[in-house]
Structure formats: C-alpha cells, structure tokens
Amino acid sequence: MQGVPSVQLVEKYLSIPVAPGNSGLIEHLAKALTFRLSDDEIPVRLVIAAIDDDSYLCEVGCLVGDNIPRLRDPQSIFSLRRRNGESAEQFTAIFVVPTGIGAEVGGHAGDATPAAQMLASCCDRLITHPNVVNASDVNEMPANALYVEGSVLCRLLMGTVGLAPVRSNRLAVVFDTQPDAMLENLVLNTVESARTTYGLDCAGIYKLDPPLELTALWSESGRAVGRGRRLEGLFDLIAEKADEFDAVAISSLIGVPDGYHEEYFRSDGAMINPWGGIEAMLTHAVSHVFDVPSAHAPMMESREILNEDPGRVDPRMAAEAISSSFLQCVLKGLKQSPRLVVDPELMLASGVLSARDVSCLIIPEGCIGLPTLAALEQGIPVIAVREGAGLIAHELKSLPWRPHQLFVAENYWEAAGILSALRTSIAPQSVRRPFARLEPKSWKIPDQPKSGSGLKQNS
C-alpha cells in the first residue's frame, strides 16, 4: 500500500440543471456529476448551496488521486438502498448541523450541545456528529447519543451502512510533526489525560512526517471549506494498521490567514468558524475510503497564538478560548463511536442500526445536503428549525415531500415538541390551533353494467 502519490482534497463548484419538480434529486445529481468530474475525482461531500429557476449551485468536496480506486474502491456517496419500512422498536432521531455554514446554533465549538441534550430527552436514541457536540477540550454529549462522523451519518440515511454500538473502541491517534515540541506535547498530554481519567484505550500514537497540509478556504457561497494535500502518508498508515484499531483521531495544523485568530475572537461570533470545513472534508474522506470512525482536531499553530489573550469572547466561542489541544472532545466522542457495518447481510443482524431504525431527522431550515435528500427519498420525517440556521440554500418546502413528512419549527423548543409528538404517535398538527375540520372528498363509483346488457349469465 506504500507510495500512494499526491492524494488531495479539493472543493469543486458546479452548476447543475434543475430537475423537474426537484424530484429524484440524488439520482439526478449523481448522473450530472459523472459528466463533470474526472475519473480520479471521488466525491466525498456534497452541498446544494443555492437554487434558482434554472440550476443548482453544488459545492462538492472531492478526494483526488490516481491510485485511490486501487487503494480501495469506495461506494459512491450517491448509492441509495431504499429501506423496507420503519422499525417501531425504539424512536431514533438524527440531529445534524452542517459544518461551515455559520449556524447561530451549532456554528461554534459545541454550542449546539444544549439543543442536542434537549432533543435526546425526547427520543430513545439520538445520533449526531462532531460538529454538534465537539467543544474543543469539552464534550458533554447526551448519554443516549451515538457519535458518528458526517459521511457515516449520510450513509446511514442512504441505507448503505449500519451502526453497531460498542462498549469501547481501540483508538489510534495521528498527529502532525511540528518544529516546536511544546505543540506536540499538547497532543500527547491530552491523550495521556484521557487514558488516566476515563480509561481511553489508545492503540497507538503516530506522528506524521511530513505533516498533512490543510488550508482553510471559503466557498463561493461563503461556506467554510478548504484544501488538503499530502494525505498519502495518513492513508498509508490507516491501511497498514487497520487491524490494530477501531477508530482514528487526527490532530493536525490548519492554515488560516495571519491575524485571523484575533479577528475571529473579536467578531462576537459573526465570523464563520474556518477550521471545521476542511476538517469535515478530511474525515469524510477517511471514513468513506476506510469504513472507520474518525474525527479531527486542529493543532495549536504556535506558542504566540497559545499565549494570546482573546479577552471576553462571545459565549458560543468560549470553549475555543479556554482550550489548548482541542483534541479532548474527539477522544471522548470516538471512545464509543459505533462500528460501521457495510455488508448488507450483516446489517440485518440483531442490534445493528440501519435506515429502518431512523424515526426522524432534525436539521436547520434551508440546508440541502445528502442527509436532507436521503430523508426525502426514504420517507423519513424531517424537522427543519428556522432559528439559528446560518447559510441556507432554499426553503425546504420547495422539495417534493410526502404529506406530513416535513415539519418547520421556529426554534429548538418547538422542534422538541414536534419530536415528542412523533415519538408518542400524535399527529403534531393536532396540538395546534386553530384545528380545522376534515372535509370529505367525493369518490365517484363508476356505473355498473345493468343486468341483461349483453353479459352472459352463469347457468
């Protein structure tokens, strides 16, 4: 597996003609991209950033490299396996706040955790992803939550992966070589603290030399994205050591413009967190290619930045301001992240969660990515939350939902109420007023042929 050349992450901006009635979007986008991407460009993340009368502006994170298909032939992110009904054994909700959209709730370090805690109290199980509960050196995710990487969450909704809950994972930690040993020691001490305080099982710590080259960028729509280079060393390592660990935590430097930290902390939360975009692209690529739980934390860039006084910051940014390694949240989340099951037969095994087990999806209003499109196709109820949504593509009502499949909530309090109603088999509209009466619809029965009209009677 050695010698994989020039493995990179890039963001592509593509205009795709609108599908009639916005129907069959997953298949429509998949076909369109086959003509717009080269053979060595593998989509790992897709967002519809805007919709107009004629086209979808799509922003597609791609893994690029000549040898990636030979490294492993990953299933397309557009593969859809339709679920056969819904399991009623437990009520399982998925909570997504897309990374890099500047969401008022969930756009900073773990500030969507209270919303996740509240939603988790309204269901048997909550499945969520790092952007919701990762708060740098803090992670207070709900006790009944499953922590999965964003691409895994997409594939669960698409029906192409199952989740097998585990008691504990063997965790591999990979970090960048840095010229200042102090920055490396922040990572090492974080891992040791996890081992000694909550019993993390670390299967090995690996230092990448040369380091990854990750750069934060912004897309045409204003989303945080990025560019990644020199991924081949990381991919070689994961492939060679795959049997020795169950999940991988990655800590690496992410390049941002000079002076950005000071500007960011003084923005009172108005600036989009730049680090999350390229982090999501990287972990989507790792989990997509290797079917392994993964998460990323940015390394501190320098002693000077570590020693800067950010002053009083917006409360949503406070966890970032008090953290040094930003890695503890990742270690705690991955400690019990569920194992990925990709064999269709094994996905039917007892205890493995599949698309049949998903009862509801909660997302910010106007976010149209693969989780939204998968829920639309699978008939999964969706709660779209208006308050704190961040960048949006289009009102979700424009998509061809089934009757009573889409519920628009003004805020997360209201979303929790809708979730509680769905869990208890109450039509959410029945607790709202005014409560309109049902009007009967005419159903005309075709005229029956009269006796003796030429039909032969049985003797």
Q: What is the pLDDT of residues 62-117, one digit of tens each?
A: 999 876 655 555 689 999 999 999 999 999 999 999 999 989 999 888 999 999 99
Of the given ranges (155-169, 298-312, 377-391, 394-408), which has the lowest mean pLDDT?
A: 298-312
Mean pLDDT value across residues 343-369: 96
Amino acid identity of 52?
Answer: D
Query: Terminal CA-to-CA distance of the chain, rounded, Å?
Result: 81
CB 233 within 8 A of CB 200: no
Mean pLDDT value across residues 209-216: 96
Mean pLDDT value across residues 233-261: 93
Q: 213 has which bridge partners?
A: 229
Helix then strand then coil, in percent of the chain rounded to 5, is 30, 25, 45
183-194 b/e with 16+ CB inside 10 Å = b? bbebbeebbebb
Which helix (H) or strand (E) is 120 found in, with range? helix 113-120
Q: CA-CA-CA-CA torsion for 249, 255, 259, 262, nearest 10 degrees?
A: -20
Query: How does DSSP assign 337-405, residue by residue?
Result: PPEEE--TTGGGSTT-B-GGGEEEEEEETT-EEHHHHHHHHHT--EEEE-TT--S-SS-GGGS-PPTT-
pLDDT above 80 (res 450): no
Mean pLDDT value across residues 396-410: 95
Between 262 and 326, residue with greater pLDDT = 326
Q: 8 has which bridge partners?
A: 64
Q: Nearest Cα to 295, choosing from 171, 398, 412, 401?
A: 171
Q: Nearest Cα to 398, choosing from 48, 60, 88, 76?
A: 48
Residue with tokens 């390592």: 237
Average pLDDT value for the chain: 92
CA–CA–CA angle 119, 121, 125 (5° rounding): 80
| Pairing outcome for strands 368-369 and 382-385 | unpaired
Q: What is the pLDDT of residues 172-211, one digit of tens each?
A: 999 999 999 999 999 999 999 999 999 999 999 999 999 9
| Pairing outcome for strands 55-64 and 8-17 | antiparallel
**Residue-level pLDDT at 1:** 42
**Residue-level pLDDT at 5:** 54
Contacts 24+ apart (CB under 8 A), 194-199: 194/328, 194/331, 194/332, 194/335, 198/332, 198/335, 199/168
**Residue-level pLDDT at 134:** 96
Say what the pTM is. Answer: 0.93
Mean pLDDT value across residues 413-440: 94
Q: What is the pLDDT of residues 26-68, one digit of tens each?
A: 999 999 999 999 988 999 999 999 998 899 999 999 999 876 6
Between 369 and 459, residue with greater pLDDT = 369
Helix axes 370-378, 25-34, angle to 10 degrees: 130
Tokens (6 digits) for 255: 């390049």
pLDDT above 90 (res 390): no
Mean pLDDT value across residues 252-264: 86
